[in-house]
Chains A and B, each alone.
Chain A
Amino acid sequence: DQQVKQNSPSLSVQEGRISILNCDYTNSMFDYFLWYKKYPAEGPTFLISISSIKDKNEDGRFTVFLNKSAKHLSLHIVPSQPGDSAVYFCAASAPANFGNEKLTFGTGTRLTIIP
């Protein structure tokens, strides 16, 4: 049962253009969403997050949008740079015992920025 889905395994975008990565979820208990970036031979690194009480969060070139009614979130990268080429994971967490949250990850989208 895949509770967090990233339906696009790969995405290629021209340098300088906007990259849009999508993520859908099924568990209505999720209240916190995160995006992680992963380079080969490295662990995932935190990129940006959003709480379910918001519909948008922005950090520099990265913006995450949340549509709770559609159970959909997206990550926008503007402008895209070659260093953004990586695998991007969407993750979600649900309220649990205090301090005991766990992350549920999607399967990832490989983003390639074309110079």
Chain B
Amino acid sequence: DAGVTQSPTHLIKTRGQQVTLRCSPKSGHDTVSWYQQALGQGPQFIFQYYEEEERQRGNFPDRFSGHQFPNYSSELNVNALLLGDSALYLCASSLNAGTGVSGNEKLFFGSGTQLSVL
């Protein structure tokens, strides 16, 4: 049973470019969340996708956008890259079973994509 897979594992871009990161959730999961982890910091919530819609968003500018596909996989897009966007981008998946119970303890993280902006 494959866990959460992210691609690519590493990426180098220059300022002003655009980047797309990809995530496949754990089998059976339908919800995908994206987090940014800067060096020496904890992960910061970017947004969450469920039923192909953005359901909640953290404090990130519109340059950060996403998409969820019918097969539950997801993409994170960042436009007009800044040096400060250099970070580890983590994807996490969970099952939103609709029971009202927090799914966060069943949040499974991928190994992340390390983005370097030069």
A interface vs B, CB < 8 Å?
Answer: 4, 6, 32, 34, 36, 41-46, 49, 89, 91, 93, 96-108
Given contacts A32-B102, A98-B100, A103-B104, contact A89 B111 (CB under 8 A): no
Q: Tell me what chain A mostly uses at the interface: helix, strand, loop, or mixed.
A: loop
A89 surroundings in chain B (CB, below 8 A): 42-43
Can you list, as one digit per residue, whether each of B89-118 has a CB less than 8 Å from chain A (1) or not (0)? 010100010101011111111111000000
Q: List residues of B (7-36) whose CB comes within 8 Å of A's CBs.
A: 31, 33, 35
A42–B111 alpha-carbon span in the complex (Å): 4
User: Quick check: A97 and B56 within 8 Å, CB to CB?
Assistant: yes
Chain B 46-78, CB-CB to A under 8 Å as 1, else 0, gives 001010000110100000000000000000000
Q: Which residues of A contact B55 (CB under 8 A)?
A: 97, 99-100
A105 touches which one: B42, B56, B98, B105 (CB < 8 A)? Answer: B42
Cβ-Cβ contact count across A and B, 8 Å cutoff? 72
Determine if A103 and B41 form an interchain contact, defined as CB atoms under 8 angstroms apart: no
Assess whether A104 is in contact with B104, with CB atoms less than 8 Å apart: no
Closest Cβ–Cβ distance, residue B6 to chain A (whole Å): 8
Residues of A with C-beta under 8 A to B100: 98-99
CB-nearest residue of chain A to B96: A99
The distance in angstroms between the C-alpha atoms of A100 and B32, with both chains bound, is 11
Taking each of B35, B42, B44, B108, which has the highest tally of chain A beta carbons within 10 Å of its own beta carbon? B42
CA distance A103 to B48 in the complex (A): 11
B81 at the interface (CB under 8 A from A): no
The residue of chain B having its C-beta at the shortest distance from the C-beta of A99 within the complex is B96
Question: From B45, which residue of chain A is reached at the shortest CB distance?
Answer: A102
* A101 to B56 CA separation, bound complex (whole angstroms): 8
Of A41, A43, A49, A102, which contacts B109 at CB under 8 A? A43
Cβ of B33: which chain A residues have Cβ within 8 Å of it?
102
Shortest B108–chain A CB gap in Å is 8
Contacts A96-B56, A101-B102 known; A46 to B107 CB distance under 8 Å?
A: yes
The smallest beta-carbon distance between A60 and chain B, in angstroms, is: 15
